Amino acid sequence: MQSYKPKNLKKRKKILIIGGIGFIGHNLAIFLKKKNFLVYVLDSLSVNNLKNVNEKLPAERKLYKSILDSRIKLLKNNKIKMIIQDARNNKKIFQHINKINPDTVIHLAAVSHANKSNKDPHQTFDNSLRTLENTLDAIKDKKKHIIYLSSSMVYGNFDGREVKENEVCNPLGIYGNLKLAGEMIVKSYNQVFNIPYTIIRPSALYGERCVSRRVSQIFVENALRDKKIVINGDGEEKLDFTYILDLINGIYLCCIKSNAKNQIFNLTFGNAKKINDLIKLIKKNFKNIKVEYQKRDKLTPVRGTLSIKKAKRYLNYKPKYSIMNGYVRYINWYKYHFKNH
């Protein structure tokens, strides 16, 4: 029988990250390990892996394989326990959680892109809500703290103001609606079983070792290959771009602050910028960039700034990375990795 009990360790807070080898998960696991948590990651390696990279993009497959391999290497180098397990298997999730007995479970297992969700609703439901229900079912009697990663997409169209956590949510498409459904399921388990929860709504996330094909990632990749950058709309739309280190610091604060429990937080930079501002940074770092503007997707909500006042008040959350330093840092990392992978 596999043993999870380490030797010669003083009592440390244990964290289990479901979906912990994904973009957010592996960065978070490393961060928490450095904060002296005992960290376990559980992942099936079936969502953000090469099976989900378009076979028509052989160059991307080679690049993404090197990125995915580097995630595993970093986790191993940091001596983080990896459990390869499909979170859709209720019995196995129950067994692993019973053995580990974590203080906090961070649920990240999900399809991480709106376009993928709209194209394959069944896979999105299966990997997002089924995995969430299994996690909640396994911790309901133990009353463990669960942190659920939702999305700013739950708000739907912003009305021009900063959106606060108490805003009425009206999401568009499969992805945003399933994220909101996940929030409601988490709240319902709190109501029925008194499970403490924290719900986090990030926005326009970017950073090292992402293969989710987010806008900020595609822009850099196309620039590196001298390919045209395609923008849906006129580029004047604003997004609250958030660097990965700001998000994971916010999640860390939710792990250690007792007043984070039974709350919802926007964890973003808190100051939206135009997509065209991102293009300006790309042009400063790459020569001869070509940009094409296309008709906007009707299922993409009009977004903007998320208020982080609540996170500042409850968590002392202080994001550090605007696009001027965060995105430039990301570009420099990608240049190096692209050259050396």
Statement: residue 1 has pLDDT above 50: no
Start-end of H helices in 101-210: 114-119, 121-125, 131-139, 173-193
Q: Is residue 219 part of a domain?
A: no
Q: Is residue 38 part of a domain?
A: yes
Q: How confident is the model at residue 159 (pLDDT cuts 50, 70, 90)?
A: confident
Nearest to residue 16, comparing CAs of 111, 85, 70, 74?
A: 85
Q: Is residue 254 part of a domain?
A: yes
Q: Is residue 41 part of a domain?
A: yes
Statement: residue 50 has pLDDT above 60: no
Instruction: Give the pLDDT score at 187.
Output: 98
Count Cα atoms within 13 angstroms, Cβ side, for 36: 5
Statement: residue 7 has pLDDT above 90: no
**Mean predicted confidence (pLDDT) in 282-308:** 90
Q: Is residue 288 part of a domain?
A: no
Task: Provide the number of structural domains found in the chain.
Answer: 1
pTM: 0.91
Where is average pLDDT lowest: 19-23, 37-41, 115-119, 282-286?
115-119
Q: How confident is the model at residue 2 (pLDDT cuts 50, 70, 90)?
A: low
Q: Is residue 208 part of a domain?
A: no
Q: What is the CATH number of the domain that holds 93?
A: 3.40.50.720
Rg over alpha carbons for the chain, rounded to the nearest Å, is: 19
Q: Is residue 82 part of a domain?
A: yes
- Assign 3-class secondary structure to 271-310: CCEEHHHHHHHHHHHCCCCCEEEECCCCCCCCCCCECCHH
Q: How confident is the model at residue 56 (pLDDT cuts 50, 70, 90)?
A: very low
Q: Structural domain of residue 263, as residue ranges?
A: 14-203+244-269+305-320
Instruction: Give the pLDDT score at 78.
Output: 96
Q: pLDDT digit string (tens) for 225-271?
A: 999 999 989 999 999 999 999 999 999 999 999 999 999 999 999 99
